[in-house]
Structure 1
Amino acid sequence: MSVFENHDPDSLIGSVLDGRFRLETELSRVTASTTYSATDLLSQLTVVLRLFSAEFTIGNGAALLEQAAVMRQIDHPHIVRLTSFGRTAVKGTDRVYVVHEQLLGGSLQDMIDRNRLLTPSQALVVGVEVCRALDYAHKRGLAHHDLRPSVIMFGEDARVRVADIGISSVIAESAWEDNAMISQERARYCSPEQALSEPFDEKADTYALALILVESVTGMVPFLADSVVGTLSARVDKLFPVSADLGGLAAVLDKAGRSDPMDRSSALEMGRALVQAAPSLPRPAPIPVVLSMVFGVPPEPDRSNEIPRGPQTDHWSESQVIDEQMQDEATILVETATQQNPLIGRWIVAAMAVLVLIIGGYFLFNTLQKESFPVPDLMGLEQGQATNLVTEFKWKVVAVEASDDLIA
């Protein structure tokens, strides 16, 4: 039982919401909502239910339900699956709720709180998976706008799932209407444009991710000050702090952390840059997820062969990185075509599979075969004659005057 239950005379623990969800334990509480562990009486599964306050429902209920309806249709390996949503009466007041799957691997915040910091290689794996989730959402008109370590969660397989996409954007838009009401927790991961009360878009998500990845490696959040005002102002028109300790991540985070959103990476660009940085880093050890043993599930799997995949060496392979990028881009094209025409989609699946094999073979062939040319005899020729002989090889001819003098 949480401290909230102990001190809340209006606790809903034990009650059944909307005739289906029995609230078991209160997990957390913020101004706009309370989150519970609940039992779905239809499936008998344990789920996570977020119940919004009556006040927030009055002002934002329609927007929440609109975002929830979109998220209910999304099935992505790196996005927490929203399983149900609705509007129901709770003690005489109208309340919106959303329900999502329960994950057993804890969150990135759980790891940071226990000083289980990541290596740059591990942070890269987390960053790539979050970028895939964000890019997928952004391409469908969805954003997060309140990305923080507590919503970067892990399943039993120790892979990342991002929670509250779409739903959090409604809360964030309401919260940022008045900077005086912003909490320190929200301020620490905000973008410069949010801090300035300027319009913000999906680029705010990549800035937040850059901050989170630095914190996951160093344990420190860049620009964090003693007050909310100080935290907000510290990032305005400031260079993003990166150090050599971040290894190959440094250049990627510098671009993702640009103060001007026009100069900042998109989620797709950041993800590609992380993938391209992978060969410069050692292979990652397993992600140190926190809650697996608490729920009695097996220990987290070995992720040393995590994507971006490479050969059995101490570093990732650049050719494998290229193959992974091609597969991701092919998947996006196939999804779009299949939605428009299932028959055409099936033909494209086959065509893209053949194309990936051909291009992959080309890269492999170029890696194994170095083009060579016979060296023509240029001795005694004029420079013009020598240039004509090597033009087809695209070589550059440099004339060097010989000297009989010895070098002292």
Structure 2
Amino acid sequence: MAAPTAHPEGTVLEGRYRVDGVLARGGMSVVHRGVDLRLERPVAIKILDRSLASDPAFVRRFEREARAAARLAHPGIVAVHDQGRDPDGTVFLVLELVEGGTLRDVLRDQGRLHPAAALTVAEQIVTALQVAHDRGLVHRDVKPENVLIGRDGSVKVADFGLVAAAWETDPDDSGEMVLGTVAYLAPEQVTDGRADARSDVYATGIVLFELLTGVPPHGGGDAVSVARRHVQNDVPPPSSVVGGVPRALDRLVIAATHRDPETRLADTAAFLAAARGVRIDADLPFHPVPLPPRRASTGGSRPLRGTRLLDLDGDQVSDVTDRSRTRRPPREEPEEPDDDTWEGEAWEELPDEPDDEDDVDVDDLEHDDDQPARRRTDTVDDIDVAIEQIERRRARSRSRRLLAAWLLLEAIATVAAGAAGWGLGLPG
């Protein structure tokens, strides 16, 4: 199916919502900036592709899911203000407008995040998902494109409802369709199309892996080969791809991405509890989320739409080259000590790290002997540079304030001494 087309700018839907420029494009919709003319406020307008808007059964499911998503009142979830159907057949959602960008924009700009920032983002994603899960709503398509980062550093999960509606196929097709974005699909979504809260936990674990390393664990290649890796291959520890990742974070990623949902972290509450433990174990304080660049971005992962259940018994597709080599080289950081292991059956003791300091490829790929396992450069990570600059500015500012305070006190003391002397010199 052709990609959804943008709606003409200036169109007014239902006599109330003016459609402006394009903010983002997806496999099933286009998101425009818009204005609610009645309330005179800026909004985002998600307009369904014509092929979906012409399907009455899909539209009914979409409207039902939109009503469910509208009940999710939480600062970490993009608010649904309204849903409608224009007389010309346009089906749309009116959403909270988040000024900023997506987590994908941040990754394109940064390459990867500081471990403390990555954990902060993951915690906020899971907190929002927990609200939805408590209401019986599963997202099914957690990915960087569906996580919005505001100019104030806020993190908001978007796109509840649309994917859920698409997953509900007709009875004759039940269990025969796989929808979502292939790089983040849980194994159970690939094999039999089922999804629950643990599927969202898996996808969040994949996102956390990507935030730490700059690449998804099973990225590259065609959709079928990537989906097969989710089913057949374990997600490796992020520290096997880049340096400087605390082993406690390795354990969190592995616990969240077990292929068997029965041994995976049970739900978002378990994820959050484990994340809090990681902060203590690895001494990772809360870290501000990097802001997205100001340039517009409408790209993103192409969703795996309408893919039939995969024949995973076929020939194994060759692994693809590790795309982390095209990313910004990570800064060398000291290895975290291997502290006590986590308790609970979801946590596993990781094997000892090899003596060789070279990183292992995502899928244990083979390369020519003269190809280094990781390019080493003197490039310093942008986040750490910024932090160091901020600390230096703060130190200089403190020094100036102390000097000014000392001069002021000295002046006061001098004046006081002079006044005392003058007073003593007066006749009695």
Of 268, 280, 288, 2:290 maps to 288
Quick one: distance in 2 between partners of 1:291 and 1:154? 10
The secondary structure found in structure 2 opposite 1:194 is helix
Matched, 1:75 2:77: no
The secondary structure found in structure 1 opposite 2:90 is strand
Who is 2:25 aligned against?
29
5 Å matches for 1:201-280? 201-244=196-239, 245-247=244-246, 248-265=248-265, 266-279=267-280, 280=282
Q: Which amino acid aligns with 2:33?
A: S
Quick one: distance in 1 between partners of 2:295 and 2:195? 40
Matched, 1:63 2:61: yes
The secondary structure found in structure 2 opposite 1:34 is strand
Who is 2:139 aligned against?
144
Change (3 A) 1:120 1:138: same
Do the aligned residues in 2 keep the contact of 1:187 with 1:232 (CA within 8 Å)? yes
Once the 2 structures are TM-superposed, how far is the Cα of residue 89 of structure 1 from its aligned partner? 2.3
Do the aligned residues in 2 keep the contact of 1:104 with 1:292 (CA within 8 Å)? no
Who is 2:35 aligned against?
39
Q: Which amino acid aligns with 2:76?
A: H
Quick one: distance in 2 between partners of 1:72 and 1:225? 35
Once the 2 structures are TM-superposed, how far is the Cα of residue 140 of structure 1 from its aligned partner? 0.5
Quick one: distance in 1 between partners of 2:33 and 2:230? 36
Who is 2:415 aligned against?
none
Name the % identity: 26
Change (3 A) 1:101 1:210: same
Once the 2 structures are TM-superposed, how far is the Cα of residue 234 of structure 1 from its aligned partner? 0.9
Quick one: distance in 2 between partners of 1:131 and 1:211? 13
CA RMSD in angstroms, aligned pairs only: 2.6
The TM-score normalised by the length of structure 1 is 0.64
Change (3 A) 1:286 1:30: closer
Quick one: distance in 2 between partners of 1:155 and 1:227? 32
Quick one: distance in 2 between partners of 1:166 and 1:267? 19
Quick one: distance in 1 between partners of 2:63 and 2:216? 33
Who is 1:396 aligned against?
none
Quick one: distance in 2 between partners of 1:292 and 1:53? 27
Change (3 A) 1:11 1:74: closer
Once the 2 structures are TM-superposed, how far is the Cα of residue 249 of structure 1 from its aligned partner? 1.4
Quick one: distance in 2 between partners of 1:227 and 1:182? 15
Do the aligned residues in 2 keep the contact of 1:214 with 1:220 (CA within 8 Å)? yes
Do the aligned residues in 1 keep the contact of 2:98 with 2:148 (CA within 8 Å)? yes
Quick one: distance in 1 between partners of 2:97 and 2:37? 15
Quick one: distance in 2 between partners of 1:105 and 1:29? 16
Quick one: distance in 1 between partners of 2:160 and 2:295? 27
Per-residue CA deviations over 1:215-236 (Å, capped at 9, x if unaligned) read: 1121111112311111010121
Change (3 A) 1:246 1:165: farther
Do the aligned residues in 2 keep the contact of 1:21 with 1:38 (CA within 8 Å)? yes
Matched, 1:104 2:84: no
The secondary structure found in structure 1 opposite 2:101 is coil
Once the 2 structures are TM-superposed, how far is the Cα of residue 29 of structure 1 from its aligned partner? 3.0
Per-residue CA deviations over 1:198-253 (Å, capped at 9, x if unaligned) read: 42222111111111111112111111231111101012142221144431211111
- Structure 1: runs of 5+ lacking an equivalent: 295-408
Q: Which has the higher helix share?
A: 1
Once the 2 structures are TM-superposed, how far is the Cα of residue 26 of structure 1 from its aligned partner? 1.9
Change (3 A) 1:179 1:213: farther
Do the aligned residues in 2 keep the contact of 1:104 with 1:291 (CA within 8 Å)? no
Who is 2:84 aligned against?
86
Who is 2:358 aligned against?
none
Once the 2 structures are TM-superposed, how far is the Cα of residue 67 of structure 1 from its aligned partner? 1.4
Once the 2 structures are TM-superposed, how far is the Cα of residue 84 of structure 1 from its aligned partner? 1.1
5 Å matches for 1:322-341? none
The secondary structure found in structure 1 opposite 2:19 is strand
Change (3 A) 1:243 1:116: closer
Do the aligned residues in 2 keep the contact of 1:23 with 1:39 (CA within 8 Å)? yes
Change (3 A) 1:256 1:173: farther
Who is 2:148 aligned against?
153
Quick one: distance in 1 between partners of 2:162 and 2:72? 13
Quick one: distance in 2 between partners of 1:39 and 1:32? 22
- Structure 2: runs of 5+ lacking an equivalent: 297-428
Once the 2 structures are TM-superposed, how far is the Cα of residue 285 of structure 1 from its aligned partner? 4.0
Do the aligned residues in 1 keep the contact of 2:48 with 2:90 (CA within 8 Å)? yes
Who is 1:130 aligned against?
125
Do the aligned residues in 2 keep the contact of 1:82 with 1:98 (CA within 8 Å)? yes
The secondary structure found in structure 2 opposite 1:222 is coil
Do the aligned residues in 1 keep the contact of 2:72 with 2:131 (CA within 8 Å)? no
Matched, 1:117 2:112: yes
Once the 2 structures are TM-superposed, how far is the Cα of residue 293 of structure 1 from its aligned partner? 9.2
Quick one: distance in 2 between partners of 1:174 and 1:102? 30
Which one has more relative contact order, counting CA pairs under 8 Å at least 6 apart?
2
The secondary structure found in structure 2 opposite 1:235 is helix
Once the 2 structures are TM-superposed, how far is the Cα of residue 268 of structure 1 from its aligned partner? 1.4
Once the 2 structures are TM-superposed, how far is the Cα of residue 124 of structure 1 from its aligned partner? 0.9
Do the aligned residues in 2 keep the contact of 1:78 with 1:162 (CA within 8 Å)? yes
Do the aligned residues in 1 keep the contact of 2:207 with 2:216 (CA within 8 Å)? yes
Q: Which amino acid aligns with 1:15?
A: T
Once the 2 structures are TM-superposed, how far is the Cα of residue 182 of structure 1 from its aligned partner? 6.7
